[in-house]
Structure 1
């Protein structure tokens, strides 16, 4: 469940009415509830004559951040260039979608390590952002679009075909997509837990982890989650009526006490998300877990289950990058301490290793042990000369 704060009753009524109207034209019942995608900088500047000479170097921000005023220092001209890029990209998106979205003011604070952002508005409410510029040169060579659930409610389904074409032509990629199904009555959140226990979420014989949130003892405002974002795929099932109306009593008064939302979130962690998810969301929802396939069958939705598989090459490169960062950080930040422990600490270093062997470094979480081991072997081959002493017991 995205939020626990109560909302005005009118908001809950409006959301349900909007969803029911969408459902009339969407027989698949699966809709996109959140979308994030990235395109190369060139795809934006080539569409805007005034920006055609802008390069990634022009939007690579070097100036710092004023913590006291919480504003970026604008002496760096890269901020101005990033402003123009974000506005141009946002203007393109608004024109492309033609569904009542407008551009808000450009902000000198960014997000997700981008330097600036421009808000996307619908009925004066912020429903997304377009982001550009970064201190990191590689990230500065991209432009990112973040469309919240409120934006997706306003975007007609056929416009997503246009978005797909735009991303494909730009050689961009989806970084996150949420696929949602709303069921108004007849379902119970406890049944999702039963399905998990019976193996309907198992992947290649392994049962993913799960979490509960909300008031399970009092039987309201509950969420049952399967999987985790670190692996790039998870499902949330939650009592949407309670969320929208603020309490079980209020949701019951408006006939929404049985309103359940099923939501599959897919991120590009170790995955390349197929752009067809924009035009065939039901197929990818069905392919997420066996439970999802059965759910659509019960709702009389025809879908050809299609999975978004883990990409071994992407996973290997990501694991390698994580290990390289860990090794570089250790060498540069605490290398002298490690050396002192090795040279003068006796068995202390071995003791520290033994005590912490069961723990997984935060930066290495989400990877298989075999991928981490292979990555360490590659990094050791690159960073350690042949003459380096062996510390793993080998002779």
Structure 2
């Protein structure tokens, strides 16, 4: 008799969780990843226990280790850690801890916060790990790892990142509850993945997906998105992925053999998944994406809506449009205005600084002034860089530069 592998058992558990969620929510679209950011001003207020951790000779310290429950050991460890946090970092640390605990409460039973503060990710200095069955399934980052202007701004925020496993094993109904919590604290969604699972496979399989692309089915507003094929793209190949869209634009879709990923090639099923990733690079993501994931899945393109309909679901397509760009003429005017001001007003002082200030001090000054001037702050940095160089050369070549730098 062949015993099922741990991989198969885990895959079956994931499938059962997803099927139960469908019954509970009535939606076939599953939220599979979530990231959001909260400003410290709106972050949750820490508990009294965290604000005023017990003294060293606490009730926990007076008992032997074997007399403490697991929860008591975690609390004691956490209190010791909080007492050692430097004062300037204490408020952000405890607010992040409170947010992590709140997120665990929303995710449901089995989710806890690791009492050990760990090194941060994504330019955050520290993180509180969110655990399930002893494994990290998410984290809450706080305090910046550097002193650049951008990171100083980041230090005023707390960031939560929930992996797919956290979203899959969370209690039914967690997503709308999380949306309410995020609204309460004015959180900004920075990433949300929406997954549509075909447990018996997509009609036509992965070959059909590639054919749809070639036929223009994924075109959006007359534009054909970028695409990339990964895996064994040949007749009968398994473990394939078809990506289309762009992370840089904040909307990318991956269609892939989910059964192979979960069960391995030996035990692969026909399970295939369409996974839509929304990011905030060029979009403002609403928290309603957690309340009505099917509507926002269908709103990604006509092809997404068609695939959802083939699944048997009815949705009202709601697109998340890119933010409108300010007219190029306005950007050119602002860059011209700034360049003229530099030559006419600041030119002599800038020349003096370049000639006589030591390089280290000058570079430190430039880094501290890396934020955009007020009138240019509303534009994207990449656009300003491109246009400003053109305008700067144009103004300097018109004689303004000679006048400004003349001795």
The normalised TM-score by structure 1 is 0.70
Alignment partner of 1:92 is 2:109: no
For 1:39-91, what per-residue CA distance to the aligned partner results, in whole angstroms no more than 9, with x for missing partners?
11122254546889xxxxxxxxxxxxxxxxxxxxx996545554333222211
Task: Give the Cα–Cα distance (whole angstroms) in 1 for the partners of residues 383 and 100 of structure 2.
Answer: 43
Question: Residue in 1 aligned with 2:349?
Answer: none
Mean Cα displacement is larger for which, 297-306 or 96-105? 96-105
Between structure 1 and structure 2, the one with the greater Rg is: 2
| Alpha-carbon distance in structure 1 between the residues aligned to 2:208 and 2:221 | 22
CA distance in 1, matches of 2:33, 2:7: 22
1:38 is matched with 37
Partner-residue secondary structure (3-state), 2:43: helix
2:170 equivalent in structure 1 = 155
Q: CA contact under 8 A between 1:79 and 1:116: conserved in structure 2?
A: no
Question: For residue 212 of structure 2, what is the aligned residue in structure 1?
Answer: 195
Q: CA deviation at 1:213?
A: 0.7
Whole-angstrom distance in 2 between the partners of 1:82 and 1:315: 39
CA distance in 2: counterparts of 1:13 and 1:51, whole angstroms: 40
- 1:138 partnered with 2:150: no
> 1:270–1:315: 8 Å Cα contact kept in structure 2?
no
Give the C-alpha shift of residue 314 in structure 1: 8.9
Residue in structure 1 matched with residue 14 of structure 2 by the alignment: 15
Alignment TM-score, normalising by the size of structure 2: 0.68
Counterpart for residue 126 of structure 1: 136
Q: Distance in 2 between matches of 1:38 and 1:19?
A: 27
Q: Is the 8 A contact 1:86 1:116 kept in 2?
A: no
* Residue 230 (structure 2) aligns with: 213
Structure 1 residue aligned with 2:183, among 158, 165, 168?
168
Cα 1:207/1:34, change in 2 over 3 Å: same
User: 1:313 Cα deviation (Å)?
Assistant: 4.8
The equivalent position to 1:299 in structure 2, one of 282, 292, 311, is 311
Matches within 5 A, 1:105-116: 105-116=115-126
Q: Distance in 2 between matches of 1:75 and 1:147?
A: 25
Task: Give SS of 1:146's match.
Answer: strand
Please name the residue that 1:223 is paired with: 241
Counterparts of 1:312 and 1:268, CA distance in 2 = 13
In structure 2, relative to structure 1, the CA distance for the partners of 1:90 and 1:40 (3 Å cut) is same
Alignment of 1:43-58 (within 5 A): 43-46=42-45, 48=47
Does residue 387 of the first structure (1) align with residue 400 of the second (2)?
yes
Task: Please report the RMSD computed on the Cα atoms of aligned residues, expressed in angstroms.
Answer: 3.5
Q: CA deviation at 1:94?
A: 2.0
CA distance in 2: counterparts of 1:314 and 1:171, whole angstroms: 26
Structure 2: runs of 5 or more not aligned? 52-83, 336-379, 403-407
Spell out, residue by residue over 1:299-320, the C-alpha distance to the aligned partner (whole angstroms, 9 max, x if none): 120100110000025999xx99
SS at 1:388 equivalent: helix
What per-residue deviation string (whole Å, max 9, x for no partner) do you get for residues 252-290 of structure 1? xxxx2x110110000001100011101000000001121
Give the C-alpha shift of residue 18 in structure 1: 1.9
1:347-390 alpha-carbon deviations (Å, 9 max, x no partner): xxxxxxxxxxxxxxxxxxxxxxx99666633576689777237x
Aligned pair 1:268/2:280, yes or no? yes
Secondary structure at the aligned position of 2:116 is classed as strand
Aligned to 1:343: none
1:323-354 CA distances to partner (integer Å, 9 max, x unpaired)?
9xxxxxxxxxxxxxxxxxxxxxxxxxxxxxxx
Counterpart Cα distance in 1 of 2:184 and 2:250: 25
Partner of 1:259: 271
Give the number of equivalent residue pairs: 312
Q: Which residue of 1 aligns with 2:260?
A: 242
Alpha-carbon distance between aligned partners in 1 of 2:37 and 2:212, rounded to the nearest angstrom: 35
The alpha-carbon distance between structure 1 residues 200 and 78, as it changes in their structure 2 partners (threshold 3 A), is farther
* Distance change >3 Å, CA 260–CA 307, structure 1 → 2: same
Asked if 2 retains the 8 angstrom alpha-carbon contact of 1:33 and 1:177, the reply is yes
1:175, 1:315 → 2: CA distance? 25
